[in-house]
Chain A
Amino acid sequence: MFVQLLRKSILRRKSRFAMGVASVLIGAAVVTALLTVSLGVGDQVGQEFTKYGANLILQPQSNTIEIGLPGINMGSVTEQKYINESDLWMIKTIQYRANVLGFAPFLYQMVTVGDGPSAQEAVMAGTYFNKTIQIIQPVSPQDPSEFTTGIADVSSWWKVTGNWITDQNDTTSAMVGSNVAQKLNLTVGDSFKVGYAGAQNNSASSNVKELKVAGIVESGGAEDNQIFANLPVAQDLSSRPGKVDTVQLSALCVRCPVEDIASEIQGKLPGVAGTTIKQLTNAEMGMLEKYQSMMAFVTAVALLASTMGIFTTMTASVAERRKEIGLMKSIGAENRSIASLFLAEATLIGLIGGITGYGVGIVLAQFIGLSVFSTTIPLKWEVLTVVIPIAIGVSLLASALPVRRATAVEPAIVLRGE
């Protein structure tokens, strides 16, 4: 009888029931879309942040020795130290390895560009452009055994005329900073000779290289005065095989500070010190927090709108059915019978609104994914298990006061003829 009563009372007020469902649908769709987006595009958000560049710099720990006599300080000497290129794979074995979005090692050296009187000095940096690193001992079997990264991950904002170097084995191409190119009158496709300044008296042929300009770099920073080539070119030129001066790293950590990543890497790579670029890290964290706050705010507004919608629908429904409620009470219905009828209706509104809202939310999530992150968002079934209870909860919560009013209807109204 209860099911019959519920079914027929809903069918009689189809439009009002539909309005209630629509109210829940809006809230459920927004919650679904934002949850799906935030779960599905975590990586994409991270990738977006790599555009802002590296936020962690790894350098070799240097031993500085104070020299002089007792009471007379004559300065200090620093022993030149390097990071071993062969250790870099270990960066991807830290606990927060998934948060390491990319890195690029750098080996710097002063080089002489050109011949004779027109020769100029410049800084040359060997680095990774698009290097696939073998992760020798992945932490878990699910981890990939390789990681492709390079300067494009940490310096993607560079304006490049010509092309990026894409072949990790290319030892004849270079990317030249715009100031260097201007001084040496180099354009894309030109060839030039570089010689390692520290090896002027060394006749080894490996200390002079002929390189071809693949692209001209404009960053507005120090890079404009540098020449970039694949790391082995620089290592060979200065006879420092397998050595790296610094590593620039782009890391993103939502639930942990980047300092934790730095200290973990220090633990894994002996003799390496990590320094965070606070300003950038804080800005990234701030943006993530704002992104999350905005999502929470939009969700709260959508759920509030749903609550108001259901409240209005249920209040109107109770007002319309006042006489019916009075009649039910007059023929023996207890308050809990009346309440259960309305609460069952609210539960159904929440359930149907939640399921349809989930469907609409998935479509909305794809729209957000494509328009904001230029990617589709994978379907997250676990969102359904969150959205349905929220939808039913909101519907029941919004119905609490109208149901209270329903139970307060006096049975005597059926005789008073109100």
Chain B
Amino acid sequence: MDDALISLENVTKVYSGGTRALNEVTLSFEKEEWVTIMGPSGSGKTTLLNIIGCLDLPTSGIVRIDGKEVTGVGQAALTRLRRENVGLIFQQYHLIPYLTALENVMLAQYYHGNPDETKAVDALKNVGLEHRLDHLPAHLSGGEQQRVCIARALINDPAILLADEPTGNLDQTNGNVVLDLIQRLHKEGRAIVLVTHNPDISGIGDRTIRIVDGNVEQDSKPGGDRNGK
């Protein structure tokens, strides 16, 4: 567990309304590992992603990223950890509608403190959007918006890429393009944590975790369960 990129020890998350989203979850994610998280709606997988991505803190338990304890740090430190370690890919893409593709990518650089247009152009070239640099999100297809989102997630070279239903809003062709891209990034050495409902995708990764009612019900690698189930 010491070599783990992300580790969760007895992590519980209870929301202010009393909803128990995660219940004593203990998990670890290795460097360069692709983990797919599955589960029905309301099972706690988004909460798990929020905590892994330093977007939220657990009510109790310990979270470590690259050996550093995340729990107990302030909001500003959490923002720094997120900025330096995590890239986020959203189902809804979440691009700023009044900024061009290039500017959306550069915004992540700006918050990281190192805007570099050449690097941002290269990131968009890398996802096949060199001809769409100055287009607003409204003028891009869903697949193209998702690729801008991926370029933005990668621009600061994070160790972990978190993807929340990255193909959920895309047709099969565009979905395959995006998945191919994520696979390529994984091969380049990035850890991927991907949340999906789609059972076809669950087989792509190194490991699949199934969450039900805030508990880890299944944690399996192709060819054998990690937790012995």
Assembly CA distance A324 to B99 (angstroms): 12
Q: B83 touching A411 by the CB < 8 A rule? A: no
The residue in chain B whose Cβ has the minimal distance to the Cβ of A331 is B108
**Across the interface, do B110 and A415 meet the contact criterion of CB distance under 8 Å?**
no
9 contacts between A and B (CB under 8 A): A1-B106, A12-B98, A328-B111, A329-B79, A331-B88, A331-B107, A332-B108, A334-B76, A416-B46
Q: How far is the CB of A403 from chain B (nearest CB, A)?
A: 16
A8 and B111 within 8 A (CB): no
Q: Which of the listed residues A2, A11, A328 has the most CB atoms from chain B within 10 Å of its own CB?
A: A328
Interface residues of B, CB < 8 Å — how many?
A: 32
A415 in contact with B90 (CB, 8 Å) = yes
CB-based contact A328/B107 at 8 Å: yes
State the CA gap A12–B138 with chains docked (Å): 13
B115 x A332 contact (CB < 8 A):
no
- Inter-chain CA distance A329–B111, complex, in Å, is 9
Q: Is the CB of A330 within 8 A of B88?
A: yes
In the complex, the answer to whether B106 meets A332 with C-beta atoms within 8 Å is no
CB neighbours of A9 from chain B (8 A) = 98
**Residue A335 CB within 8 A of the other chain:** yes
Given known contacts A1-B106, A335-B76, what 19 new A-B pairs fall within 8 Å (CB)? A1-B115, A5-B107, A8-B99, A9-B98, A12-B97, A327-B96, A328-B107, A331-B107, A331-B108, A331-B152, A334-B76, A410-B56, A411-B79, A412-B50, A412-B56, A415-B50, A415-B55, A416-B50, A417-B46
In the complex, chain A residues whose CB is within 8 Å of the CB of B49: 415
Q: Which residues of B contact A412 (CB under 8 A)?
A: 50, 55-56
A2 near B96 with CB under 8 A, answer no
**Prevailing SS type, chain A contact patch:** helix
* Residue A163 at the chain B interface, CB threshold 8 Å: no
Residue of B nearest to A1 (CB): B110
Judged by a CB distance under 8 angstroms, whether B94 is at the interface is yes
Chain A nearest Cβ from B17, distance in angstroms: 13
A417 touches which of B92, B96, B106, B152 (Cβ 8 Å):
B92
CA–CA, A412 and B86, complex, Å: 13
Q: Does B33 contact A (CB under 8 A)?
A: no
CA distance A327 to B148 in the complex (A): 14
Residues of B97-132 whose CB lies within 8 A of A: 97-99, 103, 106-108, 110-112, 115
Query: Are the CB atoms of A11 and B55 closer together than 8 Å?
Result: no
Per the bound structure, the CA–CA distance linking A33 and B50 in Å amounts to: 54
Indicate with 1 or 0, residue by residue over A25-55, a CB within 8 angstroms of chain B CB atoms: 0000000000000000000000000000000
Closest chain-B Cβ to A330's Cβ sits at a distance in Å of: 6
By beta carbon, the residue of chain B nearest A10 is B98
In the bound complex, do residue B103 and residue A4 qualify as a contact, i.e. CB atoms below 8 Å apart?
Answer: yes
Considering the chains assembled together, what is the distance between the CA atoms of A337 and B83 in angstroms? 14
**How far does the alpha carbon of A196 sit from the alpha carbon of B97 in the complex, in Å?**
97
B75 contacts A332, CB within 8 Å? no
A333 interfacial contact with B, CB 8 Å: yes
Chain A, 367-418, CB within 8 A of any chain B CB: 410-412, 414-417
CB distance from B228 to the nearest CB of A (A): 30
Option from A11, A333, A414 in Cβ contact (under 8 Å) with B111: A333
Q: Which residues of A contact B164 (CB under 8 A)?
A: 415
Residues of B within 8 A of A417 (CB): 46, 91-92
Among the interface residues B82, B92, B98, which one has the most CB atoms of the partner chain A within 10 A? B98
Partner pick for A335 among B50, B75, B96, B112, CB 8 A cutoff = B75
Is A209 on the interface with B (CB-CB < 8 A)? no
- In whole angstroms, what is the CA distance A12 to B56 when docked? 30
State whether A334 touches B110 (Cβ < 8 A): no
CA distance A163 to B32 in the complex (A): 107
Among A323, A324, A327, A330, chain B packs the most CB atoms within 10 A around the CB of A330
Which residues of A from 291 to 329 have beta carbons under 8 Å from B? 323-324, 327-329
Chain B residue contacts of A410, Cβ below 8 A:
55-56
Could you tell me if A331 and B106 are in contact, using CB atoms closer than 8 angstroms? no
Give the chain B neighbours of A330 by CB distance below 8 A. 53, 55, 82, 88, 94
CB–CB A331/B98 < 8 A: no
Q: Most chain-B CB neighbours within 10 Å: which of A4, A327, A329, A417?
A: A327
Instruction: Write out, one digit per residue, whether chain B residues 14-32 have a CB within 8 A of any chain A CB (1) or not (0).
Output: 0000000000000000000
Q: How far is the CA of A329 from the CA of B80 in the complex (A)?
A: 10
1/0 contact string of B59-80 vs chain A (CB within 8 Å): 0000000000000000110011
Q: Chain B residues with Cβ under 8 A from A332's Cβ?
A: 79-80, 82-83, 108, 111-112, 156
Report the minimal beta-carbon distance from B14 to chain A, rounded to whole angstroms.
14
Q: Bound complex: CA of A1 vs CA of B94, how far in Å?
A: 18
Q: How far is the CB of B123 from chain A (nearest CB, A)?
A: 13
| B136: min CB distance to chain A, Å | 10
Q: Which of A1, A323, A415, A416 contacts B107 (CB 8 A)?
A: A1
> B79, A333: Cβ atoms under 8 Å?
yes
The docked-state distance in angstroms from the alpha carbon of A327 to that of B107 is 11
Evaluate contact between A323 and B94: CB separation under 8 angstroms: yes
Known contacts A331-B83, A415-B46, A415-B90: does B55 contact A324 (CB below 8 Å)?
no
Q: How far is the CA of A410 from the CA of B56 in the complex (A)?
A: 8
Closest Cβ of chain B: how far from A3's Cβ, in Å? 11
Q: How far is the CB of B52 from chain A (nearest CB, A)?
A: 11
Complex: how many Å from CA A327 to CA B99? 13
- Chain B proximity of A367: nearest CB distance (Å): 40
Q: How far is the CB of B157 from chain A (nearest CB, A)?
A: 13
- A14 CB → nearest B CB, Å: 11
Contact in complex: B111, A331 (CB < 8 Å): yes
Residues of B within 8 A of A335 (CB): 75-76
Distance in angstroms from A322 CB to nearest chain B CB is: 12
